[in-house]
């Protein structure tokens, strides 16, 4: 997807400059915004495939901007930040980001992250089924939509892919590394925190009681297991 | 305030006045008006009641006795003698005496009760004034001083001493000092300290009272030269205790708030610093890594670009590490614990010190079955790098360094030993102190004196201990312990 359109949001002009130059050289179409407010404005006007969003900006910070974008869009979002602490990663993913890159980063690393975020997992090839339904929950691969008791629930692409992957491999424990590689790509495997955050978000959307999950169960130190009810439409 | 006469003098004056008034009434009745004995008895009774109401029991009893004498002498026949001829008159005189004394007693009692009620009201009003003064107290004077001053001012006490247990300090107020003339100020302080801790004060012309709240001693109070009911004194002590406790709690809150504020400020500054350094490094790294990835340059260009990238990485690491050290030095340690194999950490630390090792023999000895520990791997690796780095710096260039780990009961112990000159016994504790640099190397070897302090902070934050053994001339061995991990479930995640 080398013609993908990317919005770079950073208050530092030099960073916008180097990103624009480097990413354009890779074949991406780049626009930039120097604040969260400006980014929201640009996103209202134009369609983008991905947003590279700096976390630490004056005015509306990256987290707020990310939450605002997520309210109306499923666009891929990668957060960029100088802080490398787990709490920051969780905050970024909780706000709706698909990925998180710590500054300074090498361009090949960022490219890999961008490719991963733009990549759509070929789910139909993995499972061979287009719709999974159980207990009033329907996961539709063709439309990439999930409905719970007849109500459409908004899922980001990564959330959808993770749910679909888990649901189409039911009742077996899938290791963290395998899940990460399946959904984010081959460069991933140690980012277990991503799974914790995304699984929590999915649980909030489909589980009757997210604190006592019925469908997505944790396998301590191993991974996750999707518990598919016996009478299901897989 | 007008001077009040001594109570005995006042009673004497009232009693003499009573006799004078009885004499005057007798003269009036006998000489001027020439009234009969019944009228005279009533007039005498009036005098007795007037003195009972205004001057107290002594004056009214004096008036009663004087009236009985005058009544008998001037009005009961035979007049002009103290003899009584008619037995009926004995009854009249006795009835008069009983009536006069009883009325005196009742009237005086009512007067005393009124006086007590009035004194109670005055005390209440003063206690209110005292509590208000404490509430509005100024922040420039110490509270103990304010308490003493306010008691002296509000209760007109010439001498007040207040001892604050938490400060071990005695505050005095009032013009008369010390509290009791027979004892020096420091002796009074000793008495107050004893009273504050629940002991008894010796018999002295002053009142002492312990100040405590909920059984917890707070201080003590000594007052001299003023009448104080026990109830009022106990109320004053209670108010003082509440004020002291309130001040203590407020101070604790202020201290916590100020520490939190400082911490926030430091944290914000460090974040800003990290951001300022890392932003240009991000541009450099992104730019140079893009150019390298293009693969369109010759070997020399490639080499130079790689140097730029490596140095940018090194600078990033230095910045990250410096800020991490600054955070730990400022008391901010956040542990991000995970199950970690110590051997992997040693290998990683040595890899990062590869340049500094410069081919030095490093012997690593870690048993294969050493259990994993739940630690912050980045921080413990920092401790290892610090200890190994020190061993490299302070031992001869060819001397070997040994890094080992072993299990000792519930603990894992890691040792880093060198064959350097060792650390004198006198310095073995100081080397862990902030900014301390060993005598032998401080001018020869670069360092900040923070490394071992930070290592100790990190190890202690994990619940372990760090120490060293050294014999002069035979090297030093630093060891730190880490608690062995207990297996725990992770079902919530």
The alpha carbon dihedral of B368, B373, B376, B381 has a sign of: negative
pLDDT of A128 over the 60 cut: no
**CA-based nearest residue in chain A for residue B271:** A83
The rounded Cα A131 to chain-centroid distance in angstroms is 21
Cis amide prior to B156 (ω within 30 degrees): no
Q: How confident is the model at residue B492 (pLDDT cuts 50, 70, 90)?
A: very low
pLDDT of B400 over the 50 cut: yes
| Contact (CB<8Å) A15/B282 | yes
pLDDT of B316 over the 60 cut: yes
Span B150-189, pLDDT tens digits: 888 888 888 899 999 888 889 988 888 788 888 888 888 8
Residue ranges and CATH numbers for the domains of chain A are 5-118 (3.40.50.2300), 131-226 (1.10.10.10)
Buried residues in B239-272 as b, exposed as e (16+ CB within 10 A): bbbbbbbebeeeeeeeeeeeeeeeeeebeeebee
Please give the Cα distance from A94 to A55 (Å, whole number): 13
| Contact (CB<8Å) B491/A196 | no
Task: Report yes or no: A155 and A205 within 8 Å, Cβ to Cβ.
Answer: yes
Q: How much is the pLDDT for A33?
A: 95
Long-range contacts of B152-158 (CB under 8 A, 24+ apart): B154/B126, B154/B129, B154/B130, B155/B126, B155/B130, B155/B223, B155/B226, B155/B228, B155/B236, B156/B1, B156/B226, B157/B223, B157/B224, B157/B225, B157/B226, B158/B224, B158/B225, B158/B226
B308 contact residues in A (CB cutoff 8 A): none
Percent of all residues in chain B with a pLDDT value above 70, rounded to a whole number: 92
Instruction: Give the best residue of A80, A104, A191, A212 to mutate against chain B (max B CB count within 10 A).
Output: A104
pLDDT of B41 over the 80 cut: yes
**Collapsing DSSP states into helix, strand and coil, what is residue B287?**
helix
Q: Which residues are paired to A31 by β-bridges?
A: A7
Instruction: Match 């974008």 to its residue by tokens.
Output: A69
Distance of CA A110 to CAs A115, B289, B386, B420, Å? 9, 10, 32, 46
Instruction: Give the best residue of B271, B289, B319, B338 to mutate against chain A (max A CB count within 10 A).
Output: B289
Q: How much is the pLDDT for B440?
A: 62
Q: How much is the pLDDT for B488?
A: 46
Distance from CA of A82 to the nearest CA of B (A): 6
Instruction: Give the best residue of A12, A62, A82, A207 to mutate against chain B (max B CB count within 10 A).
Output: A82
Q: How confident is the model at residue B441 (pLDDT cuts 50, 70, 90)?
A: low
| Contact (CB<8Å) A218/B274 | no
Strands A131-134 and B207-213: unpaired
| Contact (CB<8Å) B286/A107 | yes
Task: Give the predicted TM-score (pTM) of the model.
Answer: 0.54
**CA-based nearest residue in chain A for residue B492:** A218
Please give the Cα distance from B411 to B471 (Å, whole number): 25
Establish if B275 touches chain A: CB-CB under 8 angstroms.
Answer: yes
Establish if A14 touches chain B: CB-CB under 8 angstroms.
Answer: yes
ipTM: 0.72
Q: Where are the beta strands (DSSP E) in B99-195?
A: 159-164, 169-173
Radius of gyration of chain A (CA): 18
Helix H segments across B211-334?
230-294, 299-329
Task: Tell me which residue in A15, A107, A221 faces B289 most closely, judged by beta carbons.
Answer: A107
- Inter-chain CB pairs, A–B, below 8 Å: 74
pLDDT of A34 over the 80 cut: yes
A19 contact residues in B (CB cutoff 8 A): 286
Instruction: Give the best residue of B268, B282, B285, B320 to mutate against chain A (max A CB count within 10 A).
Output: B282
Distance of CA A122 to CAs A125, A164, A233, Å? 6, 11, 21
B493 contact residues in A (CB cutoff 8 A): 196, 218, 220
């Amino acid at each position: 997807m080398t013609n993908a359109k990317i919005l770079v949001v950073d208050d530092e002009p030099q960073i916008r400059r180097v990103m624009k130059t480097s990413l354009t050289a890779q074949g991406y179409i780049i626009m930039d915004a120097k604040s969260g407010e400006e980014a929201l404005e640009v996103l209202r006007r134009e369609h983008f495939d991905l947003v590279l969003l700096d976390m630490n900006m004056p005015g509306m910070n990256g987290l707020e901007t990310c939450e605002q974008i997520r309210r109306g869009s499923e666009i891929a979002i990668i957060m960029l930040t100088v802080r490398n602490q787990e709490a920051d990663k969780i905050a970024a993913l909780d706000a709706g980001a698909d990925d998180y890159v710590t500054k300074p980063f090498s361009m090949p690393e960022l490219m890999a992250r961008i490719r991963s975020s733009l990549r759509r997992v070929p789910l139909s090839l993995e499972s061979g089924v287009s719709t999974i339904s159980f207990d009033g929950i329907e996961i539709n691969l063709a439309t990439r939509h999930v409905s719970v008791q007849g109500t459409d629930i908004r899922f980001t692409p990564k959330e959808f892919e993770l749910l679909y992957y888990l649901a189409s491999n039911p009742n077996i424990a899938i290791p963290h590394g395998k899940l990460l590689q399946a959904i984010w790509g081959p460069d991933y495997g140690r980012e277990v925190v991503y799974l914790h955050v995304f699984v929590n978000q999915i649980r909030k959307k489909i589980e009757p009681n997210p604190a006592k999950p019925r469908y997505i169960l944790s396998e301590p130190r191993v991974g996750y297991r999707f518990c598919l009810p016996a009478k299901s439409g897989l | 305030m007008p001077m009040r006469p001594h109570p005995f003098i006042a009673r004497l004056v009232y009693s003499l006045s009573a006799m004078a008034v009885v004499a005057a009434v007798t003269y009036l009745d006998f000489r001027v008006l020439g009234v009969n004995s019944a009228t005279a008895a009533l007039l005498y009774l009036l005098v007795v009641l007037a003195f009972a109401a205004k001057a107290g029991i002594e004056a009214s009893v004096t008036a009663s006795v004087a009236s009985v004498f005058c009544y008998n002498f001037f009005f009961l026949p035979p007049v002009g003698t103290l003899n009584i001829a008619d037995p009926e008159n004995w009854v009249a005189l006795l009835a008069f005496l009983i009536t006069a004394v009883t009325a005196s007693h009742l009237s005086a009692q009512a007067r005393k009760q009124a006086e007590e009620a009035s004194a109670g009201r005055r005390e209440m009003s003063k206690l209110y004034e005292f509590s208000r003064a404490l509430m509005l107290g100024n922040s420039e004077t110490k509270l103990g001083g304010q308490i003493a001053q306010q008691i002296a001012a509000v209760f007109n006490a010439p001498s007040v001493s207040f001892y604050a247990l938490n400060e071990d300090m005695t505050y005095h107020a009032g013009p008369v000092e010390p509290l009791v003339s027979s004892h020096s100020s420091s002796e009074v302080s000793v008495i107050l300290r004893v009273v504050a801790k629940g002991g008894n004060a010796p018999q002295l012309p002053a009142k002492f009272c312990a100040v405590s709240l909920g059984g917890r001693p707070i201080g003590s109070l000594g007052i001299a030269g003023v009448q104080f009911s026990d109830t009022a004194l106990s109320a004053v002590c209670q108010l003082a205790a509440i004020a002291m406790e309130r001040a203590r709690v407020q101070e604790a809150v202020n201290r916590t708030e100020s520490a939190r504020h400082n911490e926030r400020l430091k944290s914000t500054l460090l974040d800003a610093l990290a951001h300022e350094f890392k932003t240009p490094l991000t541009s450099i790294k992104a730019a140079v890594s893009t150019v390298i990835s293009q693969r369109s340059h010759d070997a020399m260009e490639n080499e130079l670009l790689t140097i730029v990238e490596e140095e940018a990485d090194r600078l990033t690491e230095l910045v990250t590490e410096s800020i991490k050290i600054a955070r730990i030095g400022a008391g901010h340690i956040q542990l991000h614990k995970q199950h970690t194999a110590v051997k992997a950490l040693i290998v990683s630390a040595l890899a990062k010190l590869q340049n500094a090792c410069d081919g030095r023999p490093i012997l690593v000895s870690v048993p294969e079955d050493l259990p994993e520990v739940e630690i912050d791997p980045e921080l413990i690796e920092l401790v290892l790098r610090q200890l190994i780095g020190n061993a490299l710096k302070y031992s001869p260039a060819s001397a070997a360094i040994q890094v080992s780990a072993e299990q000792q009961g519930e603990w894992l112990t890691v040792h880093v030993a060198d064959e350097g000159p060792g650390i004198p016994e006198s310095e073995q504790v100081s080397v862990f102190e902030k900014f301390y640099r060993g005598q032998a190397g401080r001018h020869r070897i670069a360092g900040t004196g923070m490394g071992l302090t930070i290592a100790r902070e990190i190890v202690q934050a994990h619940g372990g201990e760090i120490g060293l053994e050294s014999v002069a001339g035979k090297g030093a061995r630093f060891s730190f312990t880490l608690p062995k991990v207990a297996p725990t479930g992770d079902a919530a995640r």
